[in-house]
Homo-oligomer: A and B are copies of this chain.
């Protein structure tokens, strides 16, 4: 009888996780793949090889990862005798992702990679994340850790640890956080004392994702610590490679990295978050990566990538829930249209109720706007890294805090709407939306909280290099406005976006000139500024998607295929309208708060609370 609650009792079609048409549209119409094709690094690739990668991601995500999601979510990792055992279902899934080459796909051939553009890789991994974020994250973290050794490690570290990581034989972690050093990395106290060819490590790390598990025999912790005598603060932090087991004479030897606890996380239940103790027996060896005291700088390479990964994960987590609620809204019947007078008439699907469509369209705007942005920043990364495109680098740097925090913050709201559409059913763990809501909440916290992203954007990135990045962004958006005008997009939408671009420029200038004297008051509304900035950036994505839709409907698409059905483009136009008419006008209130320096919390004495 419990089946009356079970999702299985509804004739629901399979969740697509991510809409394939969106991925195709982004690759073919939003990005210009010709610019990538022109770069030597990507010479082996073309649209067909991209499609193969995407196809392998979507099949494994739909056929293997997603079907195990609930199973894995229901039985989180356990710590037994100092070792973390993960759900047994994870092992074949991780092996599958390794086999398909996801561990090293965007990396160079010489380290075993496929030199895949990040733009394509991001879209491919979005399927994996939407299908089962925990499983993918072993791969993502390992790639990030290996990349650090690739970029800064000695030949020996590369051979010993990087190569096995790219081959998926070892996994990697980012071991930054300590009990007293979370947002404040300057306060890291883990120490490294010279001892022969290595350093003796001592310290405690917490919240280390994938910090222990039984999927591979070894784990490599890319660790921030301090050399003996290092200066205090950020400038004294170095990067170390600290394996769970060190390689000695070809054998793996325990390296005195104790698992001192496992965090009972409310989501990401397939990926253990652990507490580590280095050197409890004074036998923990670490190797310096690169130069002394450069740890923060090195780690930021990985962190910027990780922030994009978090944003992508957030968009993917919102996407899978959006599709779940969309299908539910199609099959769940309840009530009648307001004008229906016959109480005996058949009930309608809840998607017929305008307020349910509101909740769906809002999710769609967040999910697809976010995904487009993430593909775009990944594309900028490709152009910058492999094409030496300085302008793309500026745009990437500027947009990273938005790409990380927008999907995290609005994605949480989007996930809550997916639950809400499910009504009472959504409040039960028989249905999946509640699990994704839990998963999503981490994204506003890890890899720099939203507050940190906001301070980074306003305090550093928009003002960097005399505001040239902001000017480049303005040019990008204005180019899209022109495309939209030519395509016949509603003029009032374009006017709104143009006005928003001017507002961002003016406001930023005002804040910057005040901020030189008083950084604290400039940053008082950093979070409001981030929200404003993000709203405009997403409006840009939607204006371009609207322009493309108009072109497609008129048969004037400059590139790619125009064969998708008209309804698909109509929905895009409605989502664009929603974002530009409903969300974009909110920026005026935010701008006013920033300008006025509204000081209700600024001048609030903590002792009064």
Q: Mark A226-269, 1 if CB is under 8 A from B, else 0.
A: 00000111110000000000000000000000001111111100
Q: Report the Cα distance A337→B570, complex, angstroms.
A: 50
Given A187-B347, A426-B445, A592-B585, CB of A339 within 8 Å of CB of B574: no
Partner of A523, one of B277, B351, B354: B354
Residues of chain B within 8 A of A606, CB atoms compared: 329-330, 349, 351-352, 357
Q: Which single residue of chain B is at the shortest CB-CB distance from A178?
A: B4
Given A330-B606, A429-B266, A441-B416, CB of A1 within 8 Å of CB of B338: no
Q: Report the Cα distance A434→B264, complex, angstroms.
A: 11
Q: Which single residue of chain B is at the shortest CB-CB distance from A527?
A: B355
Q: Report the Cα distance A261→B6, complex, angstroms.
A: 11
Q: Mark A588-609, 1 if CB is under 8 A from B, else 0.
A: 1100110010101111111111
User: How distant is A420 from chain B, measured CB to nearest CB, in Å?
Assistant: 6
> Is the beta-carbon distance between A267 and B427 smaller than 8 angstroms?
yes
Q: Flag whether A88 is at the interface (Cβ < 8 A).
A: no
> Is the beta-carbon distance between A2 and B589 smaller than 8 angstroms?
no
> Is the beta-carbon distance between B233 and A344 smaller than 8 angstroms?
yes
> Is the beta-carbon distance between B184 and A335 smaller than 8 angstroms?
yes
Q: Mark A170-188, 1 if CB is under 8 A from B, else 0.
A: 0000000101101110110
Q: Report the Cα distance A605→B444, complex, angstroms.
A: 33
Residues of chain B within 8 A of A361, CB atoms compared: 600-601, 604, 609
Q: Report the Cα distance A265→B425, complex, angstroms.
A: 9
Residues of chain B within 8 A of A330, CB atoms compared: 606
Q: Report the Cα distance A577→B343, complex, angstroms.
A: 48
> Is the beta-carbon distance between A206 and B423 smaller than 8 angstroms?
no
Query: Using a CB–CB distance below 8 Å, which chain A residues touch chain B?
Result: 1-2, 4-5, 177, 179-180, 182-184, 186-187, 204, 206-207, 231-235, 260-267, 273, 275, 277, 326, 329-330, 333-339, 343-344, 347, 349, 351-358, 360-361, 364, 412, 416, 419-420, 423-424, 426-430, 434, 437-438, 441-442, 444-446, 449-451, 454-455, 519-520, 523-524, 526-527, 567-568, 570-571, 574-575, 577-578, 581-582, 585-586, 588-589, 592-593, 596, 598, 600-609
